Structure 1
Amino acid sequence: MALTLYALDGCPYCETVSDALDDHGIDYETEWVEAMHSERNEVKRVSGQRGVPVLVDDERGVTMAESENILGYVEATLA
């Protein structure tokens, strides 16, 4: 899968990004993360930080955090 969204169940920012991807018909895989920041080692490995959402676009070599940044990227690049 070219796109991976790291998300936390119940996170409103993650849901906003997921909804935007779905609204544009963009295929992606969701990697659900642990609620405790200290246990989000996979997110830390791919993005250098433990917050979510994080979008990884393997095809374009892009990894980004912060929902507003991701939404802008979706609109400008993927939609």
Structure 2
Amino acid sequence: MAFTLYQLDGCPYCEKVADRMDELDLDYETVWVDALHSQRNEVKRVSGQRGVPVLVDDDRGVTMAESAKIVEYLDASYA
């Protein structure tokens, strides 16, 4: 599985997703983003917006934002 999780240090929503991925024993790469929204160009390029968390699931061709939706997706697809 090839996951990339874009997250901000100290972001509780990002931690929620990372914790769930750890609980599901999913390996993922973390890309730490800048605190300034205006500097999150890579997140914008990948997801079309600058908010985090953003999960990219390369195996399924899925890119999504919003922690609740990501956790729901992970539970439905990998739990």
Classify the TM-score, shorter chain.
Answer: over 0.9
TM-score (norm 2): 0.97
Residue of structure 2 in register with 1:67 after alignment: 67
- Paired with 1:2 and 1:66, the residues of 2 have a C-alpha distance of 19
One-letter code aligned to 1:49: Q
Residue of structure 1 in register with 2:44 after alignment: 44
SS in 2 for 1:17: helix
SS in 1 for 2:20: helix
Offset at 1:20? Answer: 0.2
Please list every run of at least 4 consecutive aligned residues from structure 1 whose deviation after the TM superposition is greater than 6 angstroms. none
TM-score (norm 1): 0.97
- State the number of aligned residues: 79
| 1:1-79 matched pairs, under 5 angstroms | 2-79=2-79
- Structure 2: state its 5+ residue gaps: none
Offset at 1:15? Answer: 0.2
Offset at 1:59? Answer: 0.6
Residues 17-61 of structure 1 show CA distances to partners (whole Å, capped at 9, x for unaligned) of 000000110111100000000000000000000000000001100
Bigger Cα displacement from structure 2, 58-67 vs 1-10: 1-10
Offset at 1:78? Answer: 1.8
